[in-house]
Amino acid sequence: MRLGAVVAGLACVVAAAAGGAEPRRPNILFLVADDLATRLGCYGDRAAITPNLDRLAAQGVLFTHAYAQGSVCTPSRTAFMLGLNNAHAGANHFQKHPDTMTLGRWFRTHGYQTFSVGKIDHTEEYLDAEAWDIHVPYADLKPKRGLGGLTKLDEDEPQPDGKSLQRIFSHVGVGDGPEQMHDAQVADRAIEFLATRRDASKPFFAAVGFHSPHVPWNTLRTLHETHERAKFSPEKTPPDATPLPAGSLHYEPPLAVSDEVAREAMHAYYAAVSLLDQQVGQILAALEAEGLAENTVVAFTSDHGYHLGWRGQWVKHTISEQVLRVPLIVRAPGAAAGTRADGIVELIDLFPTFCEVAGLPAPDHLDGTSFQPLLRNPAAAGKPAALIAMPKGWGNGRSVRTVRWRYIQRNDGSVELYDHASDPDEFTNVAANPAHARVIREHAALLEQTFGPHAVRQERRRAG
């Protein structure tokens, strides 16, 4: 049970009720983006225009090394809503095991009013109906007015495989009013909950899931025009980069696009991120207006990151740093403010962390561990490693990220090792260097301890 004076001091800052009653537990506002890499101003991205998220980071703790359990929406969201890693929860785990405790149901069971809107449990078929006192159906979030036609983005250069397939990698939509934006509907429903549907006799756990910047990259014209296309620099693969193993990009082959199309794509993505930032800002303003900000934990993250040209990849589905590393910002009563925590954390740690800052026990079966110590002291050590093993059919291998290294085991038996001290963009595979044999053994052992022997290795053992 995760109670005690330290937890109470962090979580409960509202004055005690008359008669010596215990301080009221904090509210929790959980904000989740979709396909958002760490492309925010507060993460040092000069191309980003994200004043509201930057302000949130200035008021809370920004985690520089937070990692998702999946590079696709479903396995990632299943993992953090259950607090379980890929060894214990596949992408469709809750559908097959509906009695598994979810984050929302746990807080509802412990006296919280729970609310969800937008993309939290992925689509409606993944929903835990027992988790939410109030759930806004996805169908109710349809924009009041359509965007009309979308701009198609596809490759426009000779392709690495010698074929010209006109592969589409995104669509772009630009609207004139918030009534055309899905995420504006999400924000409006969240604000409505705070203003009129909240049960003032209970603390709340509100989960708000945004679509942005998932494709299509939709945004408002005013936000699109705020960005100058010329400022974007398409990412180039160094000529001496180590070739990736076949199939490492899983679904999509590398795409060759001109700098002009690359800038158009980056412009659209960053403008969609600005729409996300705008809607987050409106919800935070409503929280303040309702007098709730002081006793509310606000956590912002994304289900996974995204590529915008890395090695010709324009989507996700890989197990590289740019996809598995995600933004994570937490503002909590009594926690540090305006600081950065460099320790490793995982999104499966959110479940136990929310429990601890709320002064609640956490389920015994969780794989995550609370990062509440880093909220009090961002200089504290994080986890020794973040581990991922993509469920069958959802990815190509498994990976472990430690403070310095990322080690990858592919399903074809190949391995990769990247030294983040000198190669943060993962362009040079140093696995063949004999000097790193011990590092590989140690990282392989971490994966095996968590997920068991790799399937390829098992076949080799049986063969001889």
Q: What confidence tens digit (pLDDT) does each residue in 358-414 have?
A: 999 999 999 999 999 999 999 999 999 999 998 776 778 899 999 999 999 988 889
- Positive or negative, the Cα torsion across 313, 317, 321, 327? positive
Residue 325 has pLDDT above 90, yes or no: yes
Cβ-based neighbours of 352, under 8 Å, separated by 6 or more: 2, 83, 362, 366, 368, 369, 370
CATH number assigned to the domain covering 5-17+25-384: 3.40.720.10
Nearest to 104 by CA among 135, 76, 74, 148: 135
Per-residue pLDDT band at 167 (split at 50, 70, 90): confident
pTM, 2 dp: 0.92
Nearest to 303 by CA among 170, 410, 401, 207: 207
Tell me the C-alpha distance between 462 and 464, whole Å: 6
Q: What is the dihedral of CA 261, 264, 266, 272, to 10 degrees?
A: -140
Complete edge-to-edge strand list for the sheet that includes strand 398-401: 386-389, 398-401, 405-409, 415-419
Nearest to 127 by CA among 137, 114, 141, 112: 137
Complete edge-to-edge strand list for the sheet that includes strand 27-33: 134-136, 113-118, 204-209, 27-33, 296-302, 325-331, 61-67, 339-346
Residue 341 has pLDDT above 60, yes or no: yes
Kindly report the backbone phi and psi dihedral angles of residue 285, in degrees, each rounded to the nearest multiple of 5, phi listed first.
Answer: -65, -40
Nearest to 254 by CA among 315, 321, 320, 170: 315
pLDDT of residue 207: 98
Contact 108, 133 (CB under 8 A): yes
Tell me the C-alpha distance between 139 and 142, whole Å: 6
Tell me the C-alpha distance between 415 and 398, whole Å: 10
Classify burial at 457, counting beta carbons within 10 Å of its beta carbon; exposed 0-12, middle 13-18, buried 19 or more.
Answer: middle
292 vs 410, residue with greater confidence: 292
Q: List pLDDT tens digits, range 74-120.
A: 899 999 999 999 889 888 888 889 999 999 999 999 999 999 999 99
Tell me the C-alpha distance between 236 and 238, whole Å: 6
Q: List pLDDT tens digits, range 206-253.
A: 999 999 999 999 999 999 999 999 999 999 999 999 988 876 766 566
Which string of DSSP letters, residue by residue, matches 222-276? HHHHHS-GGG-------TTPPPPPTTTTTTSPP----HHHHHHHHHHHHHHHHHH
Question: Whole-number mean pLDDT of the chain?
Answer: 90
Tell me the C-alpha distance between 298 and 110, whole Å: 19
Q: Would strands 168-175 and 217-220 be described as parallel, antiparallel, or unpaired?
A: parallel
Q: List pLDDT tens digits, range 406-457.
A: 999 988 889 999 999 999 999 999 999 999 999 999 999 999 999 999 876 4
| DSSP state at residue 367 | S
Classify burial at 248, counting beta carbons within 10 Å of its beta carbon; exposed 0-12, middle 13-18, buried 19 or more.
Answer: buried
Residue given tokens 């004999």 in the structure block:
434
